[in-house]
Amino acid sequence: MTPAALSLEGVGCTFAARDGTPGFTAVRDVTLAVEAGEFVSIVGPTGCGKSTLLNMAAGLLAPSSGQVRVFGEPLAGLNRRAGYLFQAESLMPWRTAQGNVMAGLTFRGAGEADARALALQWLQRVGLAAFGDRYPHQLSGGMRKRVSLAQTLVLDPDIILMDEPFSALDIQTRQLMENEVLELWGGAAGKRPAGAAGGRKAVLFITHDLDEAIAMSDRVVILSAGPGSRVVGEFRIDLARPRDVAEVRSDPRFVQLHKAIWDVLREEVLAGYQQQLAKA
Amino acid sequence: MKATWRLIKPSRRNLRAWQLVLLALLFLAWHVLTVPGLLPHFLFSDDNQAAFFFGQPLKVLDRIGHWFFVDADIYKHLVVTLWETVLAFGIGTVLGLGMGLWLALSPLAAAILDPYIKAMNAMPRVILAPIFAVWFGLGVASKVALGVTLVFFIVFFNVFQGVKEVSPVILANARMLGASRRQLLRHVYLPSATSWVFSSLHTAVGLAFVGAVVGEYLGSAQGVGYLILQAEGSFDIDTVMAGIVVLTVFALALDALVGRVEKALMKWQPQAAETEKL
């Protein structure tokens, strides 16, 4: 059996407190694997440590316990095979759209001309070929996300980590982007020689939007309310691909899955809400 | 009548013209209030005192004219003062930039040096001028040294702050894209700190001038500060004023130069309500 693209093995994360009090445990003992070419979503109430989990998968944060493996290899330092799509604005405002897309290529030692050409190609693919010389502040929120997407995908990572990338977008732009991501992800199968998973990338997608999670994923993992979150449920999404995120919502199977997952998630959301009230 | 008013009404268009009008009015007021015998004296006990204490704009302009065109004897002084200013500005900026980057990126060193930096910043550094004169002599070097101590801290604190305020998301993103430490410095920290640096450079230009002129004033054989000191010795207020005017004009010019560079380097920054004409 080939090793999973990304596996978290009993990882926990406790943030050290400065004043000697016991630290804050964001996640506790989470075990989760993403197979090569699989699209996995993590849903959970706000503040449940979803982003912490993703940061550990990226190697930006070292787990306090447990271990992260990337294609079977224990992860030390940054995860070089992963691309990360952040929730917040992550483009360098002092670089043009094209400059941003080619940044990763030049960081990794590609020639200026090659990087420029490849960046333009990816800008075309996300529909922004005419905007290459614009600075981020001259683009709309949706366009900036597309540039971020191109910036990540141009490096051809085997694993894509996404942290609520579309949460700041309006609902129409959001659905458009979701479909685009699915197309880019699914389309990779045809463009590359078929490997074990058809050249598709492994995706770990974090969201608080259950509809989005079900519409896009192969599998949805539910995280409990924090602190000390753990996995409390896992659902395989057996909807046919390719999907349209807007249309798939009226599929009877979608409704069924939504109800089943929401039954588990609701309690966690309520628990998280109670905790926030208690703190306030 | 209405049409004329529309033409001269203050607006973005005739901003420059209004600024010049204001300057002219200031000079006019200065002139009217100081020329002996033009107005009955009201503040001083005789007609000549206003001119004695405040100088007269026409004489000041005449002095400047003589300096630049008739006698043409200010150039060697001006060149010295400008050279001192530019050197102090350049050296202070480079040192402040380097030190700011270093300390912002190595928190331990910053923590160790913290009290010393605070002490050196709190110290009234102009008082170092006599010491620098002893160390470096009465030539250019002692003035540059004074200017550097003034410029350095302004730039240093701004770079330090600028680097600390780099967006952690942009930083994490650049790291995920594969940037090495050196690339982070070049492509993330430095550009991110530039807006802070430039806001400090405008202040720094003025302080570089302060360093040069105060240094000259305390002991020198040439420079505009020296000219002012000489004139003051003989109560020649017109010449003192002329020196101040010349220094101000050159400080403005240097500041405009910094502004020009800033505009070129900061073109990625959003302007307020920027629209594009199609």
For the stretch A117-129, pLDDT in tens is 999 999 998 889 8
- Mutate: best of A70, A94, A147, partner B, most B CBs <10 A: A94
Provide CB contacts within 8 A for B146, sequence distance 6+: B88, B125, B126, B128, B129, B132, B211, B212, B214, B215
Closest-CA distance of chain A to residue B170, Å: 5
Of B175, B268, B274, the CB nearest to A78: B175
Instruction: Return the domain boundaries, chain B.
Output: 75-265
What is the percent of chain A where pLDDT is above 90?
Answer: 41
Provide CB contacts within 8 A for A54, sequence distance 6+: A42, A84, A161, A163, A204, A206
The string of DSSP letters for B43-105 reads SSSSTTHHHHHH--HHHHHHHHHIIIIIS--SHHHHHHHHHHHHHHHHHHHHHHHHHHHHHHH
Closest-CA distance of chain A to residue B98, Å: 21
Q: What is the mean pLDDT of residues A7-21?
A: 81
Cβ contact A107–B170 (<8 Å): no
pTM, to two decimals: 0.79
User: Could you say which DSSP state residue A229 is in?
Assistant: B
- Closest of A193, A187, A236, A181 to residue A214, by C-alpha: A236
| φ, ψ for residue A25, nearest 5 deg | -90, 110
What is the percent of chain B where pLDDT is above 90?
Answer: 37
| pLDDT of res. B276 | 53
Residues in B touching A80 (Cβ below 8 Å): 178
CA distance A165 to A216: 13
CA distance B84 to B92: 12
3-class DSSP assignment, residue A53: helix
Both tokens of B163, joined, read 């680097």
Both tokens of A52, joined, read 């912490």
Residues in A touching B188 (Cβ below 8 Å): 92
CA distance A167 to B77: 63
Strand order in the sheet with A219-223: A82-85, A159-163, A202-206, A39-43, A219-223, A231-236
Q: What is the mean pLDDT of residues B16-24?
A: 91
| Cβ-based interface (< 8 Å): residues of B facing A | 167, 169-170, 172-180, 183, 187-188, 191-192, 194, 267-270, 274
- Mutate: best of A98, A107, A108, partner B, most B CBs <10 A: A107
Q: Which tens digit of pLDDT belongs to each residue from B65-83?
A: 988 888 888 899 999 999 9
Please tell me which residue of chain A has the smallest CA distance to B173.
A90
Residues in A touching B194 (Cβ below 8 Å): 94
Q: Which domains does chain A have, with CATH numbers?
A: 6-81+200-279 (3.40.50.300)
Whether pLDDT at A196 is above 50: no
Between chain A and chain B, the number of residue pairs with CB atoms below 8 A apart is 67
Of B177, B180, B192, the CB nearest to A104: B177
Residues in B touching A135 (Cβ below 8 Å): 267-268, 270
| pLDDT of res. A191 | 47
What is the percent of chain B where pLDDT is above 70?
Answer: 97
Both tokens of A96, joined, read 């043009």
Whether pLDDT at A162 is above 60: yes
Residues in A touching B178 (Cβ below 8 Å): 80, 104, 107-108, 155
**Inter-CA distances, B13 with A93, B33, B53, Å:** 31, 32, 38
Whether pLDDT at A20 is above 80: no
**Inter-CA distances, A15 with A52, A60, A278, B6, B59, Å:** 10, 14, 21, 65, 72
Residues in B touching A75 (Cβ below 8 Å): none
**Inter-CA distances, B34 with B24, B30, B40, B59, Å:** 15, 6, 11, 11
Nearest-10 Cα torsion for B39, B40, B46, B51 = -10
Q: What is the mean pLDDT of residues A25-37?
A: 87
Q: What is the mean pLDDT of residues A208-234?
A: 87
| pLDDT of res. A85 | 93
Residues in A touching B262 (Cβ below 8 Å): none
Name the maximum alpha-carbon separation found in chain B.
78
Please tell me which residue of chain A has the smallest CA distance to B172.
A60
Provide CB contacts within 8 A for A121, sequence distance 6+: none
Provide CB contacts within 8 A for A120, sequence distance 6+: A98, A129, A132
Whether pLDDT at A190 is above 50: no
Both tokens of A40, joined, read 């996995």
Of A78, A83, A90, the CB nearest to B170: A90
Cβ contact B268–A86 (<8 Å): no
| pLDDT of res. B112 | 93
- Count, in order, helices (H) and strands (E) of chain B: 13, 0
More confident residue, B210 or B271: B210
Cβ contact A103–B169 (<8 Å): no
CA distance B140 to B227: 15
| Cβ-based interface (< 8 Å): residues of A facing B | 58, 60, 78, 80, 82-84, 86, 88-96, 103-104, 107-108, 135, 137-138, 151-152, 155
| pLDDT of res. A195 | 42
Please tell me which residue of chain B has the smallest CA distance to A138.
B270
Please list the residues that pair with A40 across neighbouring strands: A204, A219
| pLDDT of res. B217 | 87
Q: Which tens digit of pLDDT belongs to each residue from B125-178?
A: 888 888 998 999 888 999 999 999 999 999 999 998 888 888 999 999 999 999
Residues in A touching B177 (Cβ below 8 Å): 103-104, 107, 151-152, 155
Residues in B touching A93 (Cβ below 8 Å): 170, 268-269
Could you report the predicted ipTM of this complex, rounded to two decimals?
A: 0.87
The reply to whether omega before A252 is within 30° of 0 (cis) is no
Whether pLDDT at B101 is above 60: yes
Among A196-205, B98-107, B268-277, the range scoring the smallest mean pLDDT is B268-277
Query: B75-265: what CATH class?
Result: mainly alpha
More confident residue, A157 or A198: A157
Using the structure block, give the residue that is written with the tokens 């010795």.
B233
